[in-house]
């Protein structure tokens, strides 16, 4: 998505709308988003190339997404491919359905596009794709009252072709509404810009189009802001919904909201929309907010499915890497002396592994060229990802 306007609606938490209560089970699941998974998803998405609608890379990416769902335990019967044509080309949307316990025929849709133009599109929209995948992984076996559809649209960059096809041929057939939708939650271009202070996310609110659904969108968008505050460290601001895959839904009167990066990158739609130019930590934090909000929207079980021990807090977050920049030796200082088994890996910015070590607190990095790398430290079920610089 490329925003044309940068209208900012300055608003604080609306006092007239009751804030959601904090739910520990929702927080536990939001904390199951991992930086390692987000980073891997972004890197793998980038490596799939330019995903122009109808191209082989576009098809390869669709299959990559399908394989992710299969690895999470979703079945082929939960997956639906919805083909459409664009000029002389054919592409497909991918829809995965998780059935609700109380309202199986009413759907919360979380969606984002996976097609790109002129570049690998790691920000636009590998970022949204990566978060939707993490949400689907975490909520796979979590009961929700409402059904959830995880939708990956193609053809967005050519004018919302895939989402228009889905709304006008699947949601509506012959002008008759066939799918009862509670709301549509879209994630597009949420990768941030590396080096910026990416601590705020836009929450998209319907302020145009049909007037009949604007009030409901304002309420849902406020709930999205509340959930972001409850389950992530991010601040929020509101901007007007526009030019992405929730718009065909809005035009039919559906309730919409979404996330978009607050500091807008100039890299989307160019060859520089790569992993090297996004902020993986920002994507990770938006992922936590999205998982928290999706549970609220779909009314997930409030009984935690995991038992959190005191030691399950990611103590690796305070691990130290020095000197950084490093020359020939990188020191790793673990925060917990009881950690006796750990691994450390360094990759380049495309995700290719260059160095691995086991239980070494002094890592020889002398073989690496000058530049920026990704360091991944793992101990048990804990992972931390850091930028490591080599300078000589």
pLDDT by residue (tens digit) across 212-269?
Answer: 999 999 999 999 999 999 999 999 999 999 999 999 999 999 999 999 999 999 999 9
Prior bond to 113 cis, omega within 30? no
Question: Nearest 5°: phi and psi at 368?
Answer: -90, 140
Per the model's pLDDT, the better-predicted residue between 157 and 391 turns out to be: 157
Per the model's pLDDT, the better-predicted residue between 100 and 371 turns out to be: 100
The Cα angle at residue 158 between residues 165 and 204, in degrees rounded to 5? 80
Average pLDDT score over the chain? 90
What CA–CA distance (Å, rounded) separates 149 from 151?
6
Res 6: pLDDT: 40
352 falls in which pLDDT band (50, 70, 90)? confident
What CA–CA distance (Å, rounded) separates 131 from 42?
10
Res 237: pLDDT: 97
* CATH 2.60.40.10, the chain: domain bounds: 311-390
For residue 46, is pLDDT > 80? yes
CATH architecture of 24-298: 3-Layer(aba) Sandwich (3.40)
310 falls in which pLDDT band (50, 70, 90)? very low
Q: Kindly state the average pLDDT of the residues 314-335.
A: 87
Strand-pair partners of 238 = 9, 203
Q: Kindly state the average pLDDT of the residues 183-207.
A: 97
CATH fold of 311-390: Immunoglobulin-like (2.60.40)
Res 21: pLDDT: 86
Q: Is the dihedral of CA 59, 123, 213, 247 positive or negative?
A: negative
Res 350: pLDDT: 61
The pTM is what? Answer: 0.78
* CATH 3.40.630.10, the chain: domain bounds: 24-298
For residue 164, is pLDDT > 60? yes
Q: Is the dihedral of CA 146, 27, 138, 190 positive or negative?
A: positive
**HEC profile for the chain?**
CCCCCCCCECCCCCCCCCCCCCCHHHHHHHCCCCHHHHHHHHHHHHHCCCCCCCCHHHHHHHHHHHHHHHHHCCCHHHEEEEEEEECCEEEEEEEEEECCCCEEEEEEEEEEECCCCCCCCHHHHHHHHHHHHHHHHHHCCCCECEEEEEEEECCHHHCCHHHHHHHHHHHEECCEECCEEEEEEEECCCCCCCCCCCCEEEEEECCCCCHHHHHHHHHHHHHHHHHHHHHCCCEEEEEECCCCCCHHHHCCCCCEEEEEECCCCCCCCCCCCCHHHCCHHHHHHHHHHHHHHHHHHHCECCCCCCCCCHHHCCHHHHCEEECCCECCEEEEECCCCCCCCCEEEEECCCCCEEEEEECCCEEECCCCCCEEEEEEEEECCEEEEEEEEECC
For residue 105, is pLDDT > 90? yes
For residue 5, is pLDDT > 50? no
Q: Kindly state the average pLDDT of the residues 55-68.
A: 97
Res 16: pLDDT: 32
For residue 48, is pLDDT > 90? yes
């Amino acid at each position: 998505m490329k925003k044309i306007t940068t209208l900012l609606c300055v608003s604080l938490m609306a006092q007239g709308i009751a804030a959601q209560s904090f739910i520990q089970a929702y927080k536990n699941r939001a904390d199951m988003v991992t930086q390692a998974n987000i980073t891997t998803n972004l890197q793998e998405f980038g490596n799939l190339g330019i995903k122009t609608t109808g191209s082989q890379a576009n098809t390869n990416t669709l299959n990559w997404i399908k394989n992710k769902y299969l690895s999470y335990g979703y079945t082929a019967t939960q997956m639906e491919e919805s083909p459409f044509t664009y000029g002389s080309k054919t592409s497909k949307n991918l829809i995965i359905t998780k059935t609700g316990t109380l309202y199986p025929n009413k759907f919360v849709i979380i969606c984002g596009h996976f097609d790109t133009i002129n570049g690998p599109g790691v920000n636009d929209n590998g970022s949204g794709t990566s978060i939707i995948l993490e949400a689907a992984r975490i909520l796979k076996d979590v009961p929700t009252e409402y059904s959830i559809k995880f939708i990956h649209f193609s053809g967005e960059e050519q004018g919302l072709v895939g989402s228009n096809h889905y709304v006008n041929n699947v949601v509506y057939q012959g002008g008759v509404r066939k799918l009862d939708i509670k709301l549509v939650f879209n994630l597009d271009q949420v990768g941030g810009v590396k080096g910026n202070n990416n601590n705020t996310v836009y929450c998209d609110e319907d302020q145009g189009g049909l007037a009949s659904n604007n009030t409901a969108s304002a309420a849902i968008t406020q709930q999205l802001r509340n959930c972001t505050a409850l389950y992530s460290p991010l601040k929020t601001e509101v901007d007007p919904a526009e030019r992405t895959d929730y718009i065909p839904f809005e035009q039919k009167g559906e309730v919409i909201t979404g996330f978009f990066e607050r500091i807008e990158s100039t890299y989307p739609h160019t060859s520089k929309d790569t992993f090297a130019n996004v902020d993986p930590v920002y994507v990770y934090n938006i992922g936590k907010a999205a998982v928290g909000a999706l549970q609220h929207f779909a009314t997930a079980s409030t009984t935690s499915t995991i038992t959190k021990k005191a030691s399950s807090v990611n103590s690796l977050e305070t691990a130290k890497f020095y000197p950084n920049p490093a020359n020939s030796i990188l020191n790793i200082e673990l925060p917990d002396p009881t950690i006796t088994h750990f691994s450390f890996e360094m990759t380049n910015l495309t995700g290719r592994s260059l160095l691995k070590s086991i239980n070494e607190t002094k890592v020889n990095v002398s073989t690496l060229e000058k530049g920026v790398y990704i360091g991944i430290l793992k101990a048990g079920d804990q992972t931390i990802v850091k930028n490591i610089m080599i300078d000589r």
